[in-house]
Amino acid sequence: MFLLINDTATIACEVPVWYWEKNLDTGITGHIDLLQVRNNLVYILDYKPDATKEKKAPSQLYHYATALSFRTKIPLEHIRCTWFDEQAYYEYKPAEARITLKKINTIEYTDDK
């Protein structure tokens, strides 16, 4: 709330995002901690208590950026992904990310009565 009230770049907090990837038959849901607009770019900010040791943030934020881009039609080139804590700040361009998507095995339940 502090940033929403005091920072004109901050436009939203706790933004729900979701999308379904038909080719992989899987999806993602989550909440973006903060959204900011600075220098004609949309920044997705995610607080991580120990940002320096964080290993999953880049992929999580990539999916958030993809979902946000899909839902808003904002090109991925205009989005930046960031994670931070009180000591560190990391940022990257999701449009330049090298990613490999793979289907995750799912368990299907049947009713064997």
**Strands, E assignment, the chain:** 10-21, 26-38, 41-47, 79-84, 89-92
Between residues 9 and 104, the one the model is more confident about: 9
pLDDT higher than threshold 60 for residue 111? no
The fold of 2-96 is: Lambda Exonuclease; Chain A (3.90.320)
Its pTM stands at: 0.80
Between residues 29 and 36, the one the model is more confident about: 36
Cα–Cα distance measured from residue 68 to residue 63, given in angstroms and rounded to the nearest whole number = 8
Of the candidates 8, 60, 107, the one whose C-alpha atom is nearest the C-alpha of residue 68 is 60
Domain boundaries, the chain: 2-96
- Per residue in 40-90, pLDDT (tens digit) is 999 999 999 999 999 989 988 998 998 899 889 999 999 999 999 999 999
